[in-house]
Amino acid sequence: MAGLCAGALLARRGVEVTVLERSHEDLSGRGAGIAIHRELFEVLTALDIDPGDAVGVHATGRQVFDADGEVVARLEQPQVFTSWGLVYRMLRGAFSGARFLKGKTVDGVRQQGDGATVHCSDGTHYESDWVIAADGSRSALRARLLPALAPRYAGYVAWRGLVLEQALDGRTRAALEHRMSFVLPPGEHMLCYLVAGPNDDLRPGHRWYNWVWYRPVAAGAPLADLLTDAGGHHHRDGIPPQRIRETHIAALQDAAGRLLPPVLRAVVAATPRPFLQSIVDAAAPALWHGRTFLVGDAASTARPHVGLGVSKAAGDALTLSGALAGPRATQAEALARWNAERVGVGHAALDWGRRLGSYIGGTPADAARAAEARHYRQPDVVMREVACPQPERFLNP
């Protein structure tokens, strides 16, 4: 997302852009639900993309269930939720003028004077004035530029899934349709909301329920076991959905039977292939490194509770493209300002995400942490802050 936004915006301003994408496949069929905010809309506007109502599913508010299925709290808060694929397709469609090369794994950058050379694992290389590293939370370029900064595992994973509306009975659908729904089992957190269905279908009956269930998994052997497939291969950076072992899926379904209210249990039970990701914290202390910039998750990865991944990526890209394409005489000043501002946003998002996830997992280390965890487990706080449509209220750079 960060790479597409930056590339499309710079190409719009007449800059010659090449995007190097590791994946050989079209990524549009991947991903699940996301919250979107002002910064993404600003990028769409700058690219003359007007999605109108076709941007996602409108929710009227939020609700929290207890384990028996009673609604214990409600909040009226209109919000639009969309799918990763829908946003990806809109941005990809805006990229026709520029070069988008698939199957190119960048493994290094050599910076020299007023330019840089990007090296790919297939032996090819590309000369450029500037390099924008938008290679995600496990960024290879960040690891080169800032070798001491390793993403820190948060102590829990997110199980995720998409279920077609038609796969659920009428009562379950009615209970979940108009609101983002939460349940807070001890030390865990699950949420569910509607997003566009296959082929970006927004018609009632054709959409997907997107759910995310945060569950503690100790670092070391337990996490390694979860990320190891039936053939014994350990997928440290993320296990493909089809490689997750059946025993882990069965354990998840079993936990759903014990911990979730009937409507959310039904959602998990109807999910053909749940998938998972480990939750990490990472934020670079500087995003401008000579001829190279870090943006999106490569710059900072906050926990998904903040619901900011795509919009922060869009914001990084929008402000960077403005600084790069501005007047030459003040470019260095504009880039320094960009760096300071976006480092601030990244660290603020990281802190907010850590606070929101503070009650998930093990026993807090001290009394202050325990009080923080109790605060962030309150249904009213969860409803007000998780993926809040006005994130500025909780970001304090």
Ligand X SMILES: Cc1cc2nc3c(=O)[nH]c(=O)nc-3n(C[C@H](O)[C@H](O)[C@H](O)COP(=O)(O)OP(=O)(O)OC[C@H]3O[C@@H](n4cnc5c(N)ncnc54)[C@H](O)[C@@H]3O)c2cc1C
Q: Which of residues 174-193 bind ligand X (CB under 6 A)?
A: none
CA of residue 122 relative to chain centroid, distance? 29
Q: Which of residues 283-322 bind ligand X (CB under 6 A)?
A: 296-298, 304, 309-310, 313
Nearest CA to 252 out of 239, 266, 269 is that of 269
Look up residue 267 and give its two tokens: 């959602």
Largest CA distance in the chain: 65
56 or 261: CB nearest ligand X:
56
Q: Which of 40, 90, 135, 345 binds ligand X (CB under 6 A)?
A: 135
Q: How far is the CB of 2 from ligand X (least distance, A)?
A: 4
Could you say which DSSP state residue 330 is in?
G
Q: How far is the CB of 241 from ligand X (least distance, A)?
A: 11
Residue 140 sits in the site that holds ligand X (CB under 6 A): yes
- Rounded to 5°, angle at Cα 115 from 109 and 120: 30
Q: How far is the CB of 161 from ligand X (least distance, A)?
A: 11
The mark string for 11-50 relative to ligand X (x by CB under 6 A, - otherwise) is: ---------xxxx---x--xxxxx----------------
Q: How far is the CB of 69 from ligand X (least distance, A)?
A: 27
Q: Would you call 183 helix, strand, or coil by DSSP?
A: strand
175 or 300: CB nearest ligand X:
300
Q: How far is the CB of 302 from ligand X (least distance, A)?
A: 9
40 or 259: CB nearest ligand X:
40
121 or 396: CB nearest ligand X:
121
43 or 259: CB nearest ligand X:
43
Q: How far is the CB of 362 from ligand X (least distance, A)?
A: 25
CA of residue 211 relative to chain centroid, distance? 14
Instruction: Name the strands in the sheet holding 106-112, side by side, starting at the edge strand that comes first in the sequence.
Output: 106-112, 115-120, 125-128
- Whether the CB-CB separation of 6 and 321 falls below 8 Å is answered with yes
Q: Which of residues 45-104 bind ligand X (CB under 6 A)?
A: 84, 104
Number of residues in contact with ligand X, rule: CB under 6 A?
28
99 or 374: CB nearest ligand X:
99
| Rounded Cα gap, residues 379 and 74, in angstroms | 9
| Rounded Cα gap, residues 297 and 275, in angstroms | 20
Q: How far is the CB of 364 from ligand X (least distance, A)?
A: 26
Nearest CA to 39 out of 295, 285, 288 is that of 295
Q: Strand 57-65 to strand 179-183: parallel, antiparallel, or no bridges (unpaired)?
A: parallel
84 or 175: CB nearest ligand X:
84
- Rounded to 5°, angle at Cα 209 from 205 and 210: 155
Residues at the contact surface with ligand X, assessed by CB under 6 A: 1-3, 20-23, 27, 30-34, 84, 104-106, 134-136, 140, 296-298, 304, 309-310, 313
